[in-house]
Amino acid sequence: MTAYAQPQPEQRSRVQRPEPQGRPRLGVAVITMGNRPRELEALLRSVAEQDVRPTRVVVVGNGTPLPEFPATLPPVTKVELDENLGVTGGRNAALDALLAHGDVDVVIDLDDDGLLVGRDVFGRIQDLMAHDQGLGVLSFRIADETGHTQRRHVPRLRSRDPMRGGLTTTFLGGGHALRTRMLEETGDWPDEFFFAHEETDLAWRALDAGWKVRYAPELLLQHPRTSPARHAIYYRMTARNRVWLARRNLPLPLIPVYLGTWTLLTLLRTRSLVGLRAWAGGFAEGVQTPCGERRPMRWRTVWRMTRLGRPPVI
């Protein structure tokens, strides 16, 4: 198989067709670095056991060749990237493969070490998307093997209850569903980000375009308990992308407020001097380097996010 070279946005060729009435057609996207083969196979088996069969399943090898999958699994479209393009580049490559034929209405992104425990997850997604045509993003509940959900996996402020669903201003990267009609308006994942805050960037663009983002705890993805700081470049990427997020999306008066708030919180929370130095370097990089297209949200979107409980200053 030839390696997949990621096209530039203007080169992407996708067949756009109207979403059919009734239950939307599903596509599944998984990106992997090749270091979790057993978990990936288990995830694909849980996809095969769902009550609704997806139209397409795409697995992206992010800078790695992909193995041969057992014949007992559903047909998988393989995409092998020459280099690791990060979460954002890998997901955009998956979108290109999923949307090339015009037969996918909802894209489901799943972490390669996740697992769909229930067999009705895809059916629930279809029901929720069909019931509310203004729903652009569905965020899963993520829980470990014991059923515990980490606080950072609850996408709302002042809520420790992972079973409390509803409209939110962001969503979880490990498991979510995106309506393709929304992506036509918002654009794809921000390639520049690589990883960290890419979900918030897309969510803010979706909200500004009038779409809803909903946290649906009944959509469960089992995922090992982890810390984001396990990645060596976590502090730098978090700081850089936080600056880029503000520069790309916020009205000018809110940029210093947002960044000032997060600087204060970082100083209060971070106990590692090495981490703080990396964070400061990333912050400087975010100020000095290009961040992609700037499309500041409207003030009515700021007010909408405030009413949802999370104004874009924290």
For residue 244, the model assigns a pLDDT of 98
Query: How many structural domains is the chain composed of?
Result: 2
Q: Are residues 118 and 196 in the same domain?
A: yes
Q: Are strands 135-143 and 106-111 parallel, antiparallel or unpaired?
A: unpaired
Same domain, 148 and 262: no
Q: What average pLDDT is seen over the chain?
A: 91
- Single out the residue in 200, 226, 252 at which a domain terminates: 226
Same-domain status, 125 and 272 = no
Asked if 85 and 128 sit in the same domain, the reply is yes
Non-local (6+) Cβ contacts of 115 within 8 A are: 39, 42, 43, 46, 221, 222, 223
The alpha helices in 55-161, defined as continuous H runs, are: 86-98, 121-131
The candidate with the shortest Cα–Cα distance to 195, out of 227, 233, 168, is 233
- pLDDT for residue 72 is more than 50: yes
Helices (H) and strands (E) in the chain, counts: 9, 9
Average pLDDT over residues 221-227: 84
Can you tell me the mean pLDDT for 113-134? 97
CB within 8 A of 142, min separation 6: which ones? 114, 149, 150, 153, 172, 174, 175, 220, 221, 222, 223
Instruction: Tell me, yes or no, whether 175 and 56 share the same domain.
Output: yes
Is pTM beyond 0.85? Reply is: yes
Q: What is the CATH number of the domain that holds 118?
A: 3.90.550.10
The confidence score (pLDDT) of residue 2 equals: 30
Strand-pair category, 175-179 with 106-111: antiparallel
Whole-angstrom Cα distance, residue 106 to residue 127?
Answer: 12
Look at residue 74 in the predicted model and tell me its pLDDT: 80
Q: Is the pLDDT of residue 1 over 60?
A: no
Pair (81, 212) in one structural domain:
yes
Structural domain span for residue 239: 229-307
Residues 117 and 196 in one domain: yes
